[in-house]
Amino acid sequence: MRSISPKGPWHTFVFDDHTLTRRKYNYYSGWTHMLDHLRTQLCLATVGRHIKVLIFAPETNFYNLYEFMSMISYYAETKHHELLSGLGSKVHTLRYTFPCSHATRDEDARLYGTGGKLLESLKRLMNSLPSLRHLELVDLMLDSFEAIHLLDDVCFNLCTQMERLTIINATKYNCPLLHLTAFVNLRVLVVSPQNISDDIVAALADSNLADLQIVQNRYTPVDVVPVSKQVWKRCKFRVHLGVSSRREKSLLIQEGARVASIVYVSPQIKLQADSISRIIELYKDTLRVLGHCCLPRYHQPKSFHDRMDSWLLLLCRQAPNLDTLMIRERISTATCLLIAHARPTLSRLYIRRNAVILRCDWSYNPEWEDGFYEWLKSTSQSYEETEKQIGVLLKQARWKMMSDKEYKSIRQGVVEFGRTR
């Protein structure tokens, strides 16, 4: 249980396997942590009215999870109890992530979805929080007949106050969710591609939606059909594409969409020439953010002709609105300088120092001004001078290349698929 928050005491309540539990010996599984109902009741009676963000971390003990959600729902529905009055009335954010696979290293393991009593308990809990504005449901992996009724009560009670909705992998297979179009004041929608369709996007085009994030993770099916180009032309909201997976996974291209950002959160997805070429062709006029998070776990070539230096520079020249660029691939100091020179309007340029080669492997270009090539060759022979000149070009005097530890932390500040900022 974690409750300390800079926004106030008990602002955020995180429930995991060991929250409000006691050890109990079981002849089948040995010592286990079981929910202590007395401690839970005392805790909720004392601090329950102060909780504003309720988070359910991935669990392995479904019984504790079910019991805790049932207790919160019961006490939130109980109006006549003096000690429990106001419980859940201030909760504006609910995050629920289901551990659909217990195999942490095998992504092809059998998946288990939320269902039965656990699903009923979750739906009851959502219906018991009258101030809910941000809802996040991740990896429920439901069957279609269960998913179509998942948000019935939420739509009925909160259709005018929901501001941010995250539904990632609500179903195992393709199943558009019409409930996504029922929230009239929704500003941000984070969804997986198998849960939207042409009709849903067309309905969202007439809403107040500002940002649509289409997220693929390791459980998202691969046989998903993108939304048609004609439908995207009607949409005025920004579209953000993202992939989060331990293994290599292809990004589902949405042709015709106004894509503002493309982010990969994976140690295995490589930056490839065909993907950059496709991005430039489709999104060069709208793209603002492009990057790869996590440290790479694959071989990176050292030869200039096998690296992505020229493609990254082409992207910076072709995308006039590019604002943030995250580079973890091996590039040279000369390429870093050329990127900053080609796109000096970058407000955030993240480059791993351990992946930067100290050399100038670019040949002379007749289009360059007199003396530019000499400046490029001399400056690229020093990391310190390269950082200094990039800082001058970007008008960021303190700009530095990042260590691997610093680069890994970008994910927490820039990329949070489905998270309320």
Q: How confident is the model at residue 419 (pLDDT cuts 50, 70, 90)?
A: very low
User: How would CATH label the architecture of 258-421?
Assistant: Alpha-Beta Horseshoe (3.80)
* Calculated CA dihedral for residues 238, 268, 141, 117, nearest 10 degrees: -120
What distance in Å separates the CA atoms of residue 255 and residue 234, rounded to the nearest whole number? 13
Mean pLDDT of 279-289: 96
**Token pair 């996007």 in the structure block, residue:** 201
47-102 pLDDT, tens digit per residue, is: 888 899 999 987 778 888 999 999 999 888 876 666 667 788 899 999 999 887 65
Residue 6 has pLDDT above 80, yes or no: no
Residue 82 confidence (pLDDT): 67
Question: Of residues 10 and 106, which shows the higher confidence score?
Answer: 10
Two tokens, residue 78: 């109980």
Are 163 and 185 within 8 A, CB to CB?
Answer: yes
Question: Does residue 413 surpass a pLDDT of 50?
Answer: no
Confidence class for position 114, pLDDT limits 50, 70, 90: low
* Residue 113 clears pLDDT 60, i.e. is over it: no
State yes or no: pLDDT of 18 exceeds 50.
yes
Instruction: Answer yes or no: pTM beyond 0.75.
Output: yes
Q: Any idea which residue has 């992530």 for tokens?
A: 97
If one compares 195 and 25, the residue with the highest pLDDT of the two is 195
Average pLDDT over every residue of 130-159: 93
pLDDT at 418 over 70: no
What is the residue type of 245? Answer: S
- Give the tens place of pLDDT for each residue, 339-348: 999 999 999 9
How many Å from the N-terminal Cα to the C-terminal Cα in the chain? Answer: 21
pLDDT of 286 reads 96
Mean pLDDT to the nearest integer, 384-413: 90
Buried-state track 385-409, b at ≥16 Cβ within 10 A, e below 16: ebbebbeebbeeeebebbeeeebee
CA–CA distance, 190 with 213 (Å, rounded to integer)? 5
**Residue 386: predicted pLDDT:** 97
Question: Please, how many CA atoms are within 13 Å of residue 106, restricted to the half-sphere of its CB?
Answer: 6
Q: pLDDT over 90 for what percent of the chain?
A: 69
Q: Which amino acid is at 399?
A: W
Q: Is the model's pLDDT at 377 over the cut of 90?
A: yes
**Per-residue pLDDT tens over the stretch 302-324:** 999 999 999 999 999 999 999 99
CA atoms within 13 A on the CB side of 68: 29
Statement: residue 251 has pLDDT above 90: yes
* % of the chain exceeding 70 in pLDDT: 90
Q: What is the pLDDT of residue 111?
A: 53
How high is the mean pLDDT of the chain? 88
Residue 78 is predicted with a pLDDT of 79
pLDDT recorded at residue 100: 73
- How many angstroms separate the CA atoms of 191 and 177, rounded? 10
Do 251 and 241 meet the contact criterion of CB atoms below 8 Å apart? yes
Enumerate the β-bridge partners of residue 262. 241, 290
SS3 for 223?
coil
